[in-house]
Amino acid sequence: MVDNQQENTRKVAMITGASSGIGKATALELARLGYSVAIGARRTEALLEVKAEIEALGGEVFLQALDVTDVASATAFVEQTMHHYGQIDVLVNNAGLAKGMSKVAEQQAEDDWQQMIETNVMGLLRMTRLVLPLMVKRNSGHIVNLGSTAGHEAYAGAAVYSATKFGVRAISAALRQELLGHAVRVTLIDPGMVETEFSLVRFSGDEERAANVYAKTTPLTAQDIADVIGFAVTRKTHVNLDDIILRPVDQASWGLVHRHS
């Protein structure tokens, strides 16, 4: 039930990991496109800043702390969004991360592996499981999964991260088959090198090491990805963009990057 007891007239987009980077940019972009948005992330203070930016644009926003690795947290987020808006038209499964660059034989503990698997795979599955039946019931909706070019080409030091993104590709493909006959779309967005907090998280806050990833290049930005997501979700409802791969011009593959002199 919607808080104001009226049917929501705007489409509603739910974005996970919306406190920064691609998630934040996507929330702002969809608000600009006229969506009401529900934003969730672990960092509530950062979410409040995103909320203020959306409201400054004249957008409508609902926020709640969200940890996609926690069943109770994910369930509460979906339930409260439904209570507030009464519907969810788009789910952007953005929450995800990479941790470390250790080779498998050199990894000293499994915590980083577990965190990537729990967030990138289980978190995405969990949010999809909770939202998808609502879309199937209405025979309308769009799931947007954030993958990576690492889901197309694995590389040394990223065995587990790549495995999670290969997994996201598999989940997205299976969902399209499972949803055949329902008017629910599934799009996979696979970016290459994007300059966000991604590398800072991967390298545990080492700013110099993170900056070196993008040094002397022109990487993609979070807004570049948000633009593509906005394009995908605003196509006619009979059009599904299955898998979108995008890289900066300075990148041909993971290990082949042009550095400007």
Residues marked active site are found at 161
* Rounded CA separation 189/232 (Å): 9
CB 249 within 8 A of CB 218: yes
CB 168 within 8 A of CB 124: yes
Q: What would the two tokens of residue 138 be?
A: 């209405």
Structure letter (DSSP) for residue 119: I
What is the secondary structure of 151-204 as a DSSP string? GTS--TT-HHHHHHHHHHHHHHHHHHHHTTTSSEEEEEEEE-SB-SSHHHHHTT
Q: C-alpha 242: how far from its chain's center? A: 15
Q: Which amino acid is at 17?
A: G
Q: How, if at all, do strands 141-146 and 90-93 pair?
A: parallel
